Structure formats: C-alpha cells, structure tokens
A and B are shown apart, each in its own frame.
Chain A
C-alpha cells in the first residue's frame, strides 16, 4: 500500500508541475527544441513524421552523455534502459523488454548478435554513428520478428561534404581508468565519397563504493574497491564507400567491432568462485573468466528514384563470433573439462531487404517491401546452453500513410511473415551422453498490422498507434534441455511454443510553444502468449527446474518529458518513466515480469551562457535522477532499493591555432557525484549483489578538421 501511495504522490507532483507550467507560459521568445530531438527539422514536422513515438538523437547528444557504452548514454531517454554487463558493455531494453523482444538495426538492417544471452553486450562502434532513432512500440510492420517493444535504429548515413574532412576524439574516464581514441575521416569528390573510422578503448577494473560484496552471506573482499577482472578493451574499425547522383545512391559499409572483457572474478553467474589466479596483480589485465566478441559486417544500401517512385535495397552479411573462457571446473556429472573454452558461438547472417516508396493519388505515401534473412549459428566449448540452429525468415509488408489534410494523417499497414527454424541435436560430451537438444524443425507464420493517427492542432499534437507485433520462439526456448550452471538452474525448452504475439496501443500527446515543450507517451500492451521461463519448486539433475511456458501478460506505462526555457540561456528539464507489468495466467499469475525497471524521474538544469568566452555551444548542466525502489519482483530476483544520483556536465568549443582555424571541443562529465552505493535492478551483476560504479569523471577532447 505504501508504495502505491508514494506512486500517487509522485504522480501528483508531476501533474501539478504540468498544470503550473501551463499557467506560467504566455510570453514568446525564440524557438525551443527539445534537447533530445536534434534533427534539423521543425518540431511539428518531426511529430507528424510517424504515428509512433520516435526519439532521435545525434552525435552531440552521444558526446554530451558519453558513458561506458552506447546504451548507457541512451539510458537518459525516458523508456530506454541499459542492462549493464560491467562498465564497458550493456544490452538494450525499451520499456523493460530487452533480449529478443526489441530490435536493434544498423542503417535499417537488423543487427544479429547473440541477443538472447544475459552477458552478451551490443556490438556497435558508437563513434561511427551519426544518429540514433528510437521507435517505441510495435515495430514489427517494417522490421519483422522481435520488434515488440520497439526498435533502436543506428544510422551512419552522413555523406562527407568536403574533399577532406575529419574528426579526432580523445577520451578518458576516471572510474575504470578508461582511455580511448576515436578518429573519423572522409572525403567527397564529384559523386564519390568515402568515410573511415577507427575507435580504440581500453579500461581497467571498475570501482564500486564498497569494500566487500556480501552475497549469500559470503564475503568477497575487494582490493581498493575494484571489481576484480572487469577490465576490457574494444577495437573497432569501419569503412564506407559510396556514390551519389541525383537519382541514384549506393553505399558499401564495412565494419568490425572487437571486444575483449573480463567478468567479475569472484562469481561467475551466481556461482561464487575461488581461484589461484592472482587477479590483484594488475587492474588492467583480463584474466579468466572473460569473453571476446567480434562482429563483422558488410552491407550495401542502394536506392534509385524515378519520378515519385523510390526503390531501395539493403543487402548485408554479418558474422558474430563470441568465445567465453573460464577456468575448467567439474560440475555435477561433468568431469573437469580439458580447456578454458566454455562457450563459443559463430553466427552468420545474410539479409536482403527490398522496398518501394511512391506517392499515390497525391495523398497516399505507399511503402511496400520484402525482407529476407538467413542465420546459421554454430556452437562450441564444453558448456551447453543453446544448440546449433539455422533460421530463415521471409516477410512482406505494405504501409500507407494517408495525408488527409495538413493536420491529419492516418496510416496503416499489414505484414506477413514466415520463419523456418531448424535445430540440431546436441548430446553431453561426457559420460551421461544425454540428449540436451532434440533435432527439430518448426515453421511459424504470422500476420501483423498497425493503424495510426497523427493530428496537429495549434500547440497540440496528438498521435496514437495500435499495432500487433510478434516474434518467433528462439532455439533456446524451443530446444534447451540442460543445466545452466551460471544461474544454478535446469532449463527445459518447449518444442510446442507458438509465436509470441503482442497487441499494443500507444499514444503521444505534445504541447509546445516557444518556451515549453511537454511530451507524454502512455501505452498499454497485452500478450496472449508471452514466452516465460518459469521457475518451479522441483529439482532435476540437482538443480531447480525452470521450464518455458506461455502466459497472458498485461503491461502499461508512460514516459514524459517537460522542457521549460526560462530564458534563452537557462533551461529546465524533467523526464521520467513508469512501467507496470502483470502475468495474468500460469504459475506466476499476479507476478511481474523479470527485469522490470523501477519508475524513475530526472530533474535537470542547463545553462548555456552564449557569451564570447563560452562560445556558441558552451554549457553547464546538472541533473538529479531519482529511481524508485523495485519491489515488484518474480523468482529468482531480489528487490532493489531506490536511490538518487547527482550528475553534472559542461562543455564548450575553443578555437586555437593561427586565425582560430582549429576548433577544439571539450566535454566534461561527472557521474554519481555523491559516490552513492546503489544497485541497478536490470544490471547483469544485480543477482550477485554487486553495486553499480562509484563516482566518475570523464573528459572528451574533440578536434574537427
């Protein structure tokens, strides 16, 4: 009851702020742009672009919010969560749904790593991106399976404007003693252009505000408050080659992202480990357990325009190669393995997308397309979680955006998908020789649709979108039948699972004038067959039995963002999100879903003096992030206490050199200024009671030429 009351009080405060803000704003000054929306378009045009709630941020946002990983930067956006794996990697989630319930695309092509894994981060070079677009709500219509809670579309489509141009960024963070370099260069001559980028990062074990970690009453003492063996490094490179004429555009993208990082040495998964390895010898070395991930991509995007018809094609090949190493230890019936290679996944994905866009009867923007994808995933190592598999997915859609009038747009579409999954048999490599995964061939069909309305009226803008989305069950859910030692559980797949379907109604309400911008994004979501890994009270082969099942799930929530420009130099911002999830059937009826993010609100103030010394883009900002406790948990989770974090940032651009030819940009950030010891409910290390990183200062220096 207390929690509900507190929620109500918080809401009341929020709404009171709304009402007061309405009352106060009458005067007119310069046009205010929401800090998060940085596309060079008017507010209205952005809002009318899609019936869905879309947030778009550019490089400036990523630099100002520079963090250990891309997702940790994007976490500032209400409704977006980073599920952190140590200090340098994280998994994305939108409104609490991550893994295979959201989709990451790079330049429109689905990014295929090992999204299902708890400790597999997103393999992306954030310095190569120009723009990140986040679509909240059903995204299946354009993207196919998985885009249930939304889509994060990473774009790097900038075409160099000069013969030669470039940028160098140097950065460092104090908490994990991270250092890095990122360089970009490019050039354009006639219709041809190229772009190249390189990013190198190296970080040490990160620091937490704790001397020891208490987990199952086991005390893990930390040396110098550092989490042993959480160091890592990242080496990324990319090359774009392109040609542009007035009707034709083609770009070839090549990229490789390599990450090597350690896992906390004293526990692997939930299991406490003692080791002979002298982890305290160095805080920069990467010992066991660790993983290396290499993601290679080659993509081509081509578009051709004839009158009002545009034909586009995307063709891509991706290879994701991940190896996880840990000290070989016998477990149950498994003898001591011969080497440290615990898991290996090698996944090749081929993608082909074709689409046409044209204008029909002057008011109908038609977008029709076809997507095809083939994946081949092969495993290795002595630890089994998922079998080898191949999937082929084919989809076709048609979408109509009907501009009834300047103020009213109705859009809708329908899509058909076919997915074929073939799973290979897997047997234990030791004595028991038990079949852990049966040979299986399944196909899934799905029809999805969406219907949306955009309506603009003076200072108001309304949008609503109803969409059905789906995802095909993944091989882990269908085929697993074995022990996951890291989480101390026996996982039993279900070969009869049906495609997971989701019905979601989204709304967006915006009120804006020159000083104030208020955005509210509520949603309601229902799953008739959410695929859930249910912990039972039984034991099998010595570990708690979990099995995959499908349940009815109801969710609702909202995000809000209020931006108030008191004067042109001083801006106040308040944003937040709330999420409610309930399982309505099955064994865990009445419980929430795993990894439900707690409600949060951020209050920020930003001062941009616009004086001579601070330059045009100089700013100082401070924000306070309040996160509610999360007591809505489901076995085996732990409740997480609420917390408050104070962060600050500043930045400006100097001109140095002869005739001030070289602009030097400095961005400073301070996170967790009060060095608060807190736990992030959605972090990978939450289950073993490891607190989040302590106070951190970061600096980035950038030169553009």
Chain B
C-alpha cells in the first residue's frame, strides 16, 4: 500500500529497505552496509530551490526626508536563482523607536511621541511569471493628513518556492506646508 504512494525513484528506496529488514534477519552485516549506501544514494538533490531572493533598494534611501501630501518613488532591483514570487511594501510609524532596520545606518530620530493619526498601510504586488530579475518601480502617495515623524518602510520579497527576504529603510515624513 505504501509503495503505491511513492513515486518512481522512491520505489527503489523502499524496495532496498525491505531487503534491508530481511537481511537483518540473516545477519548479513555487509549486505546491510551496501544497502544503506544504496539508500543514501536515493537522495535527489536535483531541482530544489535552496536560495532566498535578493533585494537591492535604490530609493528611498535611509534617513531621507519625504514630504507629506506628495508622492515618492519606490525603486528596487529584485533577483532570484529560479523565479521571483511577489513583493509587499509596508509603512508604519517608528514614533516609539522600535526598530526593524536591516542596514547599519542609524538615522537621527525625533523625540518619542504618541501617534494621533499615524500612517500605516501596505501594498501587495505580483511579479510577472517566470522572472529571475525584476525592477520594482512604484509611485507611493503620502496622505496629507497623517502624523509627520519617523517611519519604517519595509520591503518583503518572496520567490516561487516560498523563500522570503526582508529589507527596511528608515524615513522621516516632514510637513509640506511650512512656509517662511
């Protein structure tokens, strides 16, 4: 019954295991040895994807100041050894100075504060099928009525096999309506 479920190359493994059990009974240690070798060689390392995708953020850069009510461009170079999956970009406040930073740059943060109307949003994007590289280019509008301050801009990227890579950028959103 078990055999029915096991596909082609696995059959060999199971057959050799049955032989192995049989051979325990007749105490043929050397045959056991050979069969264990055969089992080890059942390993099929062929097509499994074992690599995470790669994110290279072009913009926004760390510690950049963005103006409220305006748009900014998210640009990044994605790559994977097999096939890219999809990506998500997310923004949330860092008024409490927690951190997700994935680069070593430390930005100068404003005083800690309690959010009134913090910006929290995220966007899912798909990548056309079959791509090993992709350049993301998305226009992100910044709402005009949100709290200014320190924010985290998170990028998450998957490949087709489900490996995920993360990257984060700290940005500062400033008021656009300051006039001197």
Contacts and interface: CB of A to CB of B under 8 A. Distances in A.
Nearest to B87: A539
Contact of B2 (A12, A526, A544): A526
A68 to B, nearest CB: 30
B21 A505 contact: yes
A2 B116 CA distance: 58
Contacts of A216: 102, 166
Contacts of B43: 4, 580
Interface residues of B, number: 59
Contacts of B13: 554, 556
A575 B99 CA distance: 45
Contacts of B101: 218, 272
Interface in B141-180: 156, 158-164, 166
Nearest to A505: B21
Contacts of A19: 29
Interface string B79-110: 00000011110101100111111111000000
Contacts of B92: 330-332
A273 B99 contact: yes
A61 interface: no
A271 B124 CA distance: 20
B28 to A, nearest CB: 12
B15 to A, nearest CB: 12
B64 interface: no
A580 B41 CA distance: 12
Nearest to B20: A522
A503 B25 contact: no
A538 interface: yes
A684 interface: no
B96 A272 contact: no
A537 interface: yes
A588 B48 CA distance: 9
Instruction: Name the interface size band of chain A.
Output: 35 or more
A543 B98 contact: no
Interface in B1-25: 1-2, 5-7, 10, 13-14, 17, 20-21, 24-25
B128 interface: no
Contacts of B39: 556, 580
Given A275-B98, A332-B90, A635-B164, 14 more contacts: A4-B40, A15-B33, A330-B118, A460-B27, A488-B166, A524-B17, A539-B158, A542-B122, A544-B164, A552-B5, A554-B13, A556-B39, A584-B7, A588-B162
Given A272-B100, A526-B2, A635 B24 contact: no
Q: Which 6 residue pairs across A and B have the least CB separation, nearest first?
A: A537-B85, A535-B162, A542-B122, A539-B88, A274-B99, A635-B162
A507 B21 contact: yes
Interface in A312-347: 329-333, 336
Which of A15, A539, A635: most chain B CB closer than 10 A? Answer: A539
A556 B20 CA distance: 12
B158 A538 contact: yes
B104 A329 contact: no
A462 B24 contact: yes
A536 interface: yes
A276 interface: yes
A178 B94 CA distance: 37
Which of B13, B45, B160, B164: most chain A CB closer than 10 A? Answer: B164
A7 interface: yes
